Chains A and B, each alone.
Chain A
Amino acid sequence: MGIISRGFRGRRQDGPPDRVPPGQYLTDDFPVLSAGPTPHTSLDEWTFTIQGGAEPVRWTWDEFRTLPSEEITKDIHCVTKWSKLDTGWEGVSVDTLLEAVEHEAEYVVAFCDGGYTTNLPLEDVTGGKAWVAFGYDGEPLEPEHGGPARLLVPHLYFWKSAKWVRGLDLRDEDEPGFWESNGYHLRGDPWQEQRYWGD
């Protein structure tokens, strides 16, 4: 540990331990994390595609917005150590999207504008655990936070909730995405503190 600086606390808050995973700190803000410039995709161009199944399935924005959606409130946990409780989102469940596709895949890779990818086991995006979210805090999702739409998988570290998501690639094998190729854990469960390879 480094030299302790007398009187330094930082801006963290304490939180209920059953809601703040090990090694995390609570925040009121919603920090903007980004590995590159913010893409700005117009709703006219935007499509969401599920590929790798029997046939690719694609929705335009208008088609996507006719799908049943729901409002959800979830805690989110970023591997950079901040957690934010009770965040409000609106989105389409990934279960709903996957109903349109015949497949036998066990894994998915989410792909995004700007080139970001992240991989997940199918069971982590099904059973009511994942959404393609287009609204945050009662407003359309801002580009900085991943708008027009981002993947939302709140039970895993937030790098899995890929911003600017444009589709899912169905796979038979687990293939590491951007951060997972660079030392981050393939699955990323914050309650088991699965931050890095080997955790």
Chain B
Amino acid sequence: MSTLELEVPGWSDHRAGQHLDVRLTAEDGYQAQRSYSIASAPGEPLAITVERLEDGEVSPYLVGEAHEGDRFEVRGPIGGYFVWDADEPERVLLVAGGSGVVPLMAMARHRARAGGEAPMRLLYSSRSLEDVIYREELETLGIDVVHTLTREQPPGWSGYARRIDDELLREVAFPASESPRVYVCGSTRFVDAAADGLVRLGYDPAWVRTERFGATG
């Protein structure tokens, strides 16, 4: 994983949860395009966090090759559905699968910067502790963070150690009676499973906003 700070002339500030599209052009005109969630909060220097995929075409370039001064095209900010503004009063549940944490991190950072008062809780599923992104910073943002490590746990780990299921959600999610807003982001399978689980818990599907990531690299 690598966080890149971008300087985009004419960039209008973004909202937490939005993404941008990156387009790379090679010297012979060959182009490749990918979408990346904006990791920074509105008002912070624009940043994206990119996961390097070994078979990828764009991520190895962004993570391994690109350095300060390099340029590529950017389109955005994009998104009017999977966004959260700090003036919204409801409590917020964030559910992240792997690199799906990136847009949710922007929301958590935004809340911290804006001095948001409504409770925010992050349920973050990762394969192992080494795969957890922003691990230390998450402890400083004034939100509840609940990790579940699905494949490997460090010795003495007392937290959740399995994929999200109905029982885990019941223990971690806010009660449906509190009408929380929910943002779920991760792979399609992760998002669909978590969203269905929340609906079984009594959540109104309209409160559960989803964004499916499809990593191609």
Contacts and interface: CB of A to CB of B under 8 A. Distances in A.
Interface string A6-44: 111111100000000000010000000000000000000
Interface string B31-43: 1100000000000
B29 A8 contact: no
A4 B66 CA distance: 12
B73 interface: yes
Nearest to B32: A10
B30 A3 contact: no
A192 interface: no
Contacts of A2: 23, 25, 31, 72-73
A9 B24 CA distance: 9
B178 interface: no
Contacts of B65: 7-8
B135 interface: no
A60 to B, nearest CB: 34
A13 to B, nearest CB: 12
Contact of A3 (B32, B66, B73): B73
Q: Which of B26, B57, B61 has the most CB of A within 10 A?
A: B26
Interface size class of B (residues with CB under 8 A): 10 to 19
Contacts of B70: 5-7
B27 interface: yes
A3 B25 contact: yes
A154 B25 CA distance: 29
Looking at chain A, what size class is its interface with the partner chain?
Answer: 10 to 19
Given A10-B57, A11-B57, A4 B32 contact: no
A10 B29 contact: no
B26 A9 contact: yes
Contact of B61 (A4, A7, A12): A7
A1 interface: yes
A59 to B, nearest CB: 36
B71 A5 contact: yes
Interface string A156-193: 00000000000000000000000000000000000000
A2 B24 CA distance: 8
A1 B24 CA distance: 11
Contacts of A12: 30
B23 A10 contact: no
Contacts of A9: 26, 30
B73 A8 contact: no
Interface string A82-119: 00000000000000000000000000000000000000
A7 B27 CA distance: 9
B68 to A, nearest CB: 12
A6 B26 CA distance: 7
A4 B30 CA distance: 10
A4 B57 contact: no
A8 B71 contact: no
B216 to A, nearest CB: 10
A8 to B, nearest CB: 5
Nearest to B70: A6
Contacts of A7: 61, 65-66, 70
A92 to B, nearest CB: 34
Contacts of B66: 5, 7
Interface of B: 23-27, 29-32, 57, 61, 65-66, 70-73
Given A2-B73, A12-B30, 6 more contacts: A4-B25, A5-B25, A5-B70, A6-B71, A7-B61, A10-B24
9 contacts: A2-B23, A2-B25, A5-B24, A5-B66, A7-B61, A8-B32, A8-B61, A8-B72, A10-B32
Query: Which 5 pairs, one residue from A and one from B, show the smallest C-beta to C-beta distance?
Result: A2-B25, A5-B24, A5-B72, A8-B24, A11-B57
